[in-house]
């Protein structure tokens, strides 16, 4: 992945309202007659926060001045300003978010909102990254306020910073357009020259963007500015702060401390009072923090607020020189005429000389070292790796600017002072220096996931890192140490963004992180969220992941159907997923479905037993296929298979329950088809439908017979029952006999499938024999309401013996022929009681 290979583009924007040239301190002033030094102050008191909005490299100033509200210099007071960073120009929707709101759901909403179009635009990526960054930032702040541990806070903060980095780099890539106005480099200003460098050199623009990012992610700080008191009088008074007395009144060296000019400390080694020394240190640290964040205007205003106008001017010479058009006759409100520093190199040389003064305060050296592009003078005040990286990126950028300016002989070479010698040629050198550092705060960076990822993004090596991280994650998982959920979520989203941007992500490794996150969501029962992320996987993995969560879902039918609707909403292959889900569940239930039984001794008991819990669970498996019309054939095939298993075991109750859960129009699944298998499936299903229809009539007859009124019941009740019993007996007997004569399941449905046909023959043996016994029972026990049925119960032997239907063979093979003959003998005896001969 190469972040710097896109077409360059953009341009600098310089807006420092206070031009500086070398050390010629020029200010717009109101002059106090009693002073040789004049200054302008503001008289409105305010304590404020400086809110920075993310800037592209396209609109980034080299010294990045920022507009700051008016500040007050009012007496000998301490002004406290807290600097914070806000990311994005829209109002936060997460800052006041309920702490119980799932971050997983929040992330999913962002992904669904911005990244679901078939062609994701750059604006969608930008908006999604901004909202994710804001979400993570809000979580970090929210967690810190609720006593969340330092590690969790650090993870949220680091994740937020990573999204910001991606966003800034993505936006600058989109804005890479090579611009050339045709003017000769010898005729354009310094600013225009560097603008052209940024437009045409993607490496330079990339470095600027990373530097800007490092400035944005610097932690907030509280600045303390205390005005110093010289000679017992505050700098803020009716008299000027630095009033140079006549030479006769100057103090002698033995009277150090009586001077009121700011150079006395360095000129004669005069020490400030303890109060002033503390104020000086606080100011220098505050100025450094502003410089580190690129807030040069804030740094200058802090100096002014502390009464050090001279320092404000000394740090303000970094603006590149340009000449803006002048408009006569009216005020446009915009800068006009010469702007910036024409002797910028001379100013930088002076800053470098100050930074090289080992007797100066470390923060003062760091300030001027950073302004000159030095590294060594700044490192002592650096904290985390971000500070170290910024110092070196700052040096790299400044060196490239100086190289470009010197290439066209800008400035006066004869008057230039030495500048820092930068040993950094590319970004890789910066991170090698950080990796090899012996600083304690940098020692564990190799173990920090977010540092590794941020580094890889900057260096264009995220593909290689993801491959390495996937290898590490697999190994850790095998050792029982799966990746933390927070990191799983982040890595999944990182893969999505890199892929949507068209960057190189190893297919298998990228899929691994997305799939791992989906598996975590499933384990947390985030069933509404998992399908969204599954839609970013290849088809086979979509089927695998979604079927795994459907297998675990045990909701009601309506809830199950909603899950299927969700799958369809995200464009997933619902048919394959549902079929895979059912097949896996059936495989898991195979032992329960195929559990054997002894039909001779326990068939009747098995038929009469109710459905067990395990069987009810199996019955519900096929419900998944009922939600997809295109899965009708698959549903038919699997339902027939389960019915064969249950009927073979005599488990009539679960078989009937399963049959009743099937869609009423399932037989239409094979309408118009001609394949032998589908015709066989449809025929088999219709056979089961016929059997269950007959069985229902038989059960209805049994219910009526079991509800016979007692002997002392009223005549009307008895007559009603007799009529009902007569009707039920007639219906049951007619349909059973019809089925027995239909050659039910007597022929092979699919000649080439011997296993299938063997199961069907076994079912015919069992249930034809059962139907013969059922029919005899209807005839025999209905003889009181149907007197003629007694004779029919005897003549059934003709039906059984007839070669046309071969019923006797089924009775023989099922070992129930003798049982049938015993029942016929009872019919003969009963007929004899009526005075009729069984042989008549």
Both tokens of residue 359? 């007797």
Closest CA to 814 of 776, 764, 778: 764
**Residue 675's pLDDT band (boundaries 50, 70, 90)?**
confident
Closest CA to 512 of 491, 530, 531, 529: 491
Closest CA to 491 of 509, 475, 474, 504: 509
pLDDT of residue 190: 83
d(Cα 341, Cα 735) in Å, to the nearest integer? 106
Which of the pair, 254 or 710, is modelled with greater confidence? 710
Which of the pair, 450 or 609, is modelled with greater confidence? 450
Is residue 777 over pLDDT 90? yes
Both tokens of residue 500? 């949507």
How long, in residues, is the chain?
840
Residue 791: other Cβ atoms inside 10 A: 17
Q: What is the mean pLDDT of residues 320-324?
A: 82
Q: What are phi and psi of 762, to 5 degrees?
A: -65, -40
d(Cα 348, Cα 664) in Å, to the nearest integer? 86
What DSSP letter does each residue of 761-798 carry, written as one string? HHHHHHHHHHHHHHHHHHHHHTTTT-THHHHHHHHHHH
Find the angle CA(245)-CA(250)-CA(254) to the nearest 5 degrees: 155
**Residue 330's pLDDT band (boundaries 50, 70, 90)?**
low
d(Cα 819, Cα 54) in Å, to the nearest integer? 91
Is residue 28 over pLDDT 90? no
pLDDT tens-digit map of 132-178 = 999 999 988 876 655 557 788 889 999 999 999 999 999 988 776 55
Residue 502: other Cβ atoms inside 10 A: 9
pLDDT of residue 186: 61
CB of 738 closer than 8 Å to CB of 726: no
CB of 124 closer than 8 Å to CB of 548: no
Adjacent-strand bridge partners of 222: 82
Closest CA to 417 of 368, 372, 363: 372
pLDDT of residue 247: 38
**Residue 63's pLDDT band (boundaries 50, 70, 90)?**
very low
Write down the H helix ranges in 570-706. 574-588, 590-593, 599-608, 613-621, 632-648, 652-661, 676-706
What DSSP letter does each residue of 624-653 carry, written as one string? GGGG-GGGHHHHHHHHHHHHHHHHHTT-HH
**Gyration radius (Cα) of the chain, Å:** 44
pLDDT of residue 147: 55
Both tokens of residue 53? 């909005």
Report the sign of the C-alpha dihedral through residues 598, 602, 603, 608, in that order. negative
The residues, ordered by sequence, that sit 6+ positions from 535 with a Cβ below 8 Å of its Cβ are: 542, 570, 571, 572
Domain ranges of the chain: 1-53+61-87+183-239+277-325+337-460, 461-572
Q: What is the mean pLDDT of residues 182-190?
A: 68
Is residue 183 over pLDDT 70? no
Q: What is the mean pLDDT of residues 557-576?
A: 95
Is residue 775 over pLDDT 50? yes
pLDDT tens-digit map of 83-135 = 444 433 333 333 333 444 588 999 999 999 999 887 788 889 999 999 999 99
**Residue 243's pLDDT band (boundaries 50, 70, 90)?**
very low
Adjacent-strand bridge partners of 225: 79
pLDDT tens-digit map of 482-521 = 999 999 999 999 999 999 999 999 999 999 999 999 999 9
CB of 169 closer than 8 Å to CB of 454: no
If residue 78 lies in a helix (H) or strand (E), which one and from where to where? strand 78-85
Question: Is-above-0.85 flag for pTM?
Answer: no
The residues, ordered by sequence, that sit 6+ positions from 598 with a Cβ below 8 Å of its Cβ are: none
For residue 98, the SS3 value is coil
Q: What phi-psi label fits residue 480: left (phi over 0), alpha (psi between -120 and 50 degrees) or beta?
A: left
State the pairing for strand pair 78-85/51-52.
parallel
Is residue 30 over pLDDT 70? no
For residue 478, the SS3 value is helix
**Between the ranges 403-407, 530-534, 609-613, where is the mean pLDDT highest?**
530-534
pLDDT of residue 754: 86
Is residue 837 over pLDDT 80? no
Q: What is the mean pLDDT of residues 765-777?
A: 95
Helix axes 613-621, 652-661, angle to 10 degrees: 30
If residue 324 lies in a helix (H) or strand (E), which one and from where to where? strand 322-324
Is residue 149 classed exposed, middle or buried when 0-12, 13-18 and 19+ CB atoms within 10 A define those classes? exposed
d(Cα 174, Cα 167) in Å, to the nearest integer? 11
Which of the pair, 695 or 220, is modelled with greater confidence? 695
CB of 161 closer than 8 Å to CB of 454: yes
Is residue 235 over pLDDT 50? no
Both tokens of residue 58? 């396209």
pLDDT of residue 239: 33
d(Cα 76, Cα 236) in Å, to the nearest integer? 7
The residues, ordered by sequence, that sit 6+ positions from 27 with a Cβ below 8 Å of its Cβ are: 18, 38, 39, 40, 309, 313
Both tokens of residue 159? 């994740």
pLDDT of residue 230: 53
d(Cα 285, Cα 271) in Å, to the nearest integer? 19
Q: What is the largest CA-CA distance in the chain?
A: 160
d(Cα 110, Cα 88) in Å, to the nearest integer? 15
Q: What are phi and psi of 715, to 5 degrees?
A: -65, -40
CB of 820 closer than 8 Å to CB of 811: yes
pLDDT of residue 223: 81
Tell me the CA distances in angstroms from 128 to 108, 162, 164, 386, 753, one per residue in order.
Answer: 11, 13, 11, 25, 55
Adjacent-strand bridge partners of 79: 225
- Token pair 């890192």: residue: 465
pLDDT of residue 417: 80
pLDDT of residue 718: 92
Q: Residue 447 half-sphere exposure, CB side, CA atoms within 13 Å?
A: 4
**Residue 751's pLDDT band (boundaries 50, 70, 90)?**
confident
The residues, ordered by sequence, that sit 6+ positions from 414 with a Cβ below 8 Å of its Cβ are: none
Adjacent-strand bridge partners of 24: 21
**Residue 601's pLDDT band (boundaries 50, 70, 90)?**
low
d(Cα 399, Cα 352) in Å, to the nearest integer? 13
pLDDT of residue 650: 86
Q: What are phi and psi of 569, to 5 degrees?
A: -60, -35
Is residue 256 over pLDDT 90? no
- Token pair 């936060």: residue: 92
Find the angle CA(430)-CA(433)-CA(439) to the nearest 5 degrees: 130
pLDDT of residue 664: 81
**Between the ranges 565-569, 588-592, 603-607, where is the mean pLDDT highest?**
565-569
Q: Which of 80-94, 101-115, 283-297, 652-666 has the lowest mean pLDDT?
A: 80-94
Both tokens of residue 226? 């205390």
Write down the H helix ranges in 374-484. 385-407, 427-435, 449-459, 462-478
pLDDT of residue 289: 96
Q: Average pLDDT, whole number, for the chain?
A: 81
d(Cα 470, Cα 483) in Å, to the nearest integer? 10
pLDDT of residue 410: 59
Is residue 274 over pLDDT 50? yes
């Amino acid at each position: 992945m190469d972040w710097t290979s896109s077409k360059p583009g953009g341009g600098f924007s310089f807006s420092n309202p206070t031009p500086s040239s070398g050390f010629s301190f020029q200010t717009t002033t109101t002059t106090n007659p009693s002073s040789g030094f004049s200054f302008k102050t503001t008289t409105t008191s305010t304590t404020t926060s400086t809110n920075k909005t993310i800037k592209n490299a396209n609109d980034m100033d080299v010294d990045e001045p920022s507009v700051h509200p008016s500040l007050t210099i009012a007496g000998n007071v301490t002004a406290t300003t807290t600097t914070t960073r806000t990311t994005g120009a829209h109002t936060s929707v997460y800052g006041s978010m309920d702490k119980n709101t799932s971050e997983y759901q929040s992330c999913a909403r962002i992904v669904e909102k911005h990244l679901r179009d078939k062609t994701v635009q750059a604006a969608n990526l930008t908006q999604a990254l901004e909202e994710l960054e804001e979400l993570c930032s809000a979580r970090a702040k929210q967690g810190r306020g609720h006593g969340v541990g330092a590690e969790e806070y650090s993870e949220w903060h680091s994740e937020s910073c990573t999204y910001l980095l991606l966003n800034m780099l993505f936006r600058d890539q989109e804005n890479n357009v090579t611009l050339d106005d045709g003017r000769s480099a010898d005729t354009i200003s310094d600013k225009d020259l560097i603008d052209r460098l940024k437009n045409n050199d993607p490496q330079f623009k990339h470095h600027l963007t990373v530097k800007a990012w490092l400035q944005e992610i610097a932690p907030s700080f509280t600045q303390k500015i205390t005005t110093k008191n010289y000679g017992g009088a505050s700098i803020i008074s009716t008299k000027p702060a630095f009033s140079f007395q006549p030479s006769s009144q100057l103090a002698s060296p033995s009277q150090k401390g009586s001077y009121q000019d700011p150079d006395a400390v360095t000129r004669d080694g005069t020490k400030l009072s303890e109060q002033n020394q503390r104020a000086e240190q606080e100011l220098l640290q505050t100025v450094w923090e502003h410089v580190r964040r690129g807030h040069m205007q804030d740094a200058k205003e802090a100096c002014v607020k502390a009464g050090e106008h001279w320092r404000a001017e000394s740090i303000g010479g970094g603006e590149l020189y340009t000449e803006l058009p002048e408009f006569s006759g009216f005020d446009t409100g915009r800068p006009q005429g010469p702007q910036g520093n024409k002797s910028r190199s001379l100013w930088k040389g002076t800053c470098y000389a100050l930074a090289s003064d080992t007797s100066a305060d470390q923060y003062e050296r760091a300030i001027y070292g950073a302004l000159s592009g030095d590294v060594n003078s700044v490192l002592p005040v650096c904290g985390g790796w971000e500070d170290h990286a910024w110092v070196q990126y700052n040096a790299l950028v400044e060196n490239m600017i100086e190289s470009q300016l010197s290439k066209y002989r800008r400035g006066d070479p004869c008057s230039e002072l030495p500048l820092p010698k930068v040993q950094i040629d590319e970004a890789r050198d910066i991170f090698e220096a950080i990796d090899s550092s012996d600083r304690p705060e940098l020692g564990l960076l190799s173990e920090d996931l977010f540092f590794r990822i941020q580094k890889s993004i900057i260096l264009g090596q995220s593909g290689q890192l993801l491959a390495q991280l996937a290898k590490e994650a697999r190994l850790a998982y095998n050792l029982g140490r799966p990746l933390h959920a927070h990191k799983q979520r982040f890595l999944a989203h990182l893969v999505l963004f890199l892929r949507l941007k068209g960057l190189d992500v190893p297919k298998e490794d990228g899929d691994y992180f997305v799939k791992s996150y989906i598996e975590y969501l499933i384990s947390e029962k985030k069933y509404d969220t998992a399908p969204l992320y599954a839609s970013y996987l290849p088809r086979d993995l979509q089927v695998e992941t979604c079927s795994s969560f459907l297998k675990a879902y045990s909701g009601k039918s309506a809830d199950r159907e909603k899950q299927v609707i969700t799958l369809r909403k995200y464009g997933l292959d619902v048919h394959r997923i549902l079929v895979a889900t059912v097949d896996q569940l059936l495989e898991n239930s195979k032992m329960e479905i195929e559990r054997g039984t002894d039909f001779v001794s326990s068939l009747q008991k098995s038929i009469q037993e109710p459905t067990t819990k395990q069987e009810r669970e199996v019955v519900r498996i096929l419900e998944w296929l009922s939600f997809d019309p295109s899965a009708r054939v698959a549903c038919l095939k699997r339902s027939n298979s389960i019915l064969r298993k249950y009927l073979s075991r005599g488990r009539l109750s679960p078989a009937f329950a399963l049959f009743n859960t099937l869609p009423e129009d399932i037989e239409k699944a094979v309408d118009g088809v001609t394949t032998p298998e589908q015709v066989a499936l449809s025929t088999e299903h219709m056979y089961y439908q016929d059997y269950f229809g007959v069985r229902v009539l038989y059960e209805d007859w049994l219910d009526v017979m079991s509800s016979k009124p007692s002997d002392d019941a009223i005549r009307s009740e008895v007559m009603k029952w007799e009529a009902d019993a007569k009707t039920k007996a007639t219906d049951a007997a007619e349909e059973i006999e019809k089925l027995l004569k239909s050659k039910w399941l007597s022929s092979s449905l699919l000649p080439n499938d011997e296993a299938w046909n063997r199961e069907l023959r076994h079912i015919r043996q069992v249930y034809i024999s059962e139907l013969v016994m059922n029919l005899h029972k209807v005839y025999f026990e209905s003889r009181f309401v149907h007197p003629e049925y007694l004779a029919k119960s005897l003549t059934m032997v003709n039906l059984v013996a007839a070669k046309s239907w071969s019923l006797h063979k089924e009775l023989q093979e099922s070992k129930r022929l003798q049982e049938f003959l015993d029942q016929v003998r009872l019919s003969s005896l009963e007929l004899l009681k009526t005075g009729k001969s069984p042989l008549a």
